[in-house]
Chains A and B, each alone.
Chain A
Amino acid sequence: MSFLSYAWNWLKEPQQWHGADGIPARILEQLGYTALSLIIAAAIAVPLGILIGHSGRGAVAVVNLANAWRSIPTLGLLVLLVITLGFSPLSWLVPLVVLAIPPILVNAYEGVAGVDPELKDAARGMGMTPWQQIRKVEVPVAAPLIVLGLRTGAIFVVATATIAAYIGLGGLGRYIIDGLATENYGEVAGGAALVVVLALAVQAFFILVRRLVVPVGLRQQGRPS
């Protein structure tokens, strides 16, 4: 049997679609974890990245952080936190936020640091205050990269939240982990199919956001993506 027939046979059962461990509830949980972690991470990393990009201070630290970040094994971090702190919202929220910060921070930094120096000079020459330069020139020009950072952060959060089912988190990862434990491949496949669809939907959302935030004047010269 193929993956899709396993997934379909499980998904078409009406009992999967009701109750606290039904599919709609699990999708909402997963979206909730993703949105909450991403909002907290963005609230920390976007302003910080913009500030570092604007001032140029701390740039080396940011680049090193980005390189070190990828080597952290998420499964290890999750299990370590849960057995030292016990299972609480902190034991999954902390790793999700911490792991989403680097891509958001680095892209916000790169975006602002990469603004054409002539553009910055022009802004200063027009008499803009530093705050106006950031708000009216640097952030709009950096917007595509800032959104790219949020998108990468979202990819990471969705993936890690799925793995976090192993330490007891709800969401769609539950089906995968529970199905593996009971050797019910249909449930595992159904869960994986839902995770794939959700991940694609989150990507589509960010592609849409990117379209909306790019200033009209810059729309012709964006990178292909």
Chain B
Amino acid sequence: MMWSWIPSNAALIRQLTLESAYLGIVPALLGLVISVPLGIACARWKWFYPPVLSAASILYALPSLALFIVLIPYTGITDTTVIIPLTLFSLCVLVPNVVDGMRSVPEPVRQAATAMGFGALRRLVQVELPIAVPIVIAGLRVAVVSSISLASVGQLIGVSSLGYLFTDGFQRDFPTEIVVGGVLVIALALVCDLLLVLATRLLTPWRPRRSRRAARDLAIGQPAAVLSGGAG
């Protein structure tokens, strides 16, 4: 390690970190915006879920580098070319979690809301979605962490991010630069992950804080669904 390299390149490192954060967070948020209505529809109409899930898992199986290249003739060498595939990947994790979240609402709760005079929309917004929050955010955590680490592949087609430190370090045969890039990608992912854990707590104040079971559920999310999605 050549530590002096870090302070003398602080401005570059800061800029690349911001670019990585942007390329990682935007797809996860776009994925959330798409998957909430899609997941609600899948939970409501059962026949709709299998085709959506199959489509998402087929897209997920495609290597990111290949998808970036497919998009180049249409969106050029821009952030959009990286953001679209990463958004599609995030659906594979997010849609199943939204569906599972909606299904986790106990039937008596739903009936109580109806009996209290809640219409379908108000019940969805004030009762069902809040109950689904922990499972949805568990999916969002996976989506944002994967997007941040995958965004660095965009460097191979020339979209700048912390991935620049990998290609530049490789060309200059300079391990320090690569290690710094790797550590920052992982740190950025961890910070986003922690922020989402905090967000879950703030959004669901009624959940027990110290329950080990709850902490474990939160950490695992929906195992099968979460792990069938992830990184590519």
A residues whose Cβ falls under 8 Å from a Cβ of B: 1-3, 6, 63-64, 66-77, 79-80, 82-84, 103, 106-107, 110, 114, 145, 148-149, 151-152, 155-156, 158-159, 162-163, 166-167, 173, 176-177, 180, 185, 188-189, 191-193, 195-196, 199-200, 202-203, 223-225
Contacts and interface: CB of A to CB of B under 8 A. Distances in A.
B181 interface: yes
Contact of A6 (B73, B141, B179): B73
The 6 closest A-B pairs by CB, nearest first: A159-B63, A71-B189, A192-B69, A79-B170, A76-B182, A192-B66
Contacts of B193: 67, 71
Interface in B51-86: 53-54, 57-58, 60-67, 69-74
Interface stretch (B6-14, B33-41, B116-124, B222-230): B222-230
B198 interface: no
Contacts of A106: 223, 227
B70 A3 contact: yes
A176 B153 contact: no
B29 interface: no
A124 B182 CA distance: 48
Interface of B: 49-50, 53-54, 57-58, 60-67, 69-74, 141-142, 145-146, 148-150, 152-153, 155-157, 162-163, 165-167, 169-170, 173-175, 178-179, 181-182, 185-186, 189-190, 193, 216, 219-220, 223-224, 227-228, 230-232
A6 B181 CA distance: 34
Given A159-B232, A203-B58, A225-B54, A79 B146 contact: no
A196 B70 contact: yes
Name B's interface SS.
helix
Contacts of B219: 63-64, 67
Nearest to B46: A224
Contact of A73 (B157, B163, B227): B163
A69 B60 CA distance: 17
Nearest to B171: A79
Contacts of A176: 65-66, 69, 156
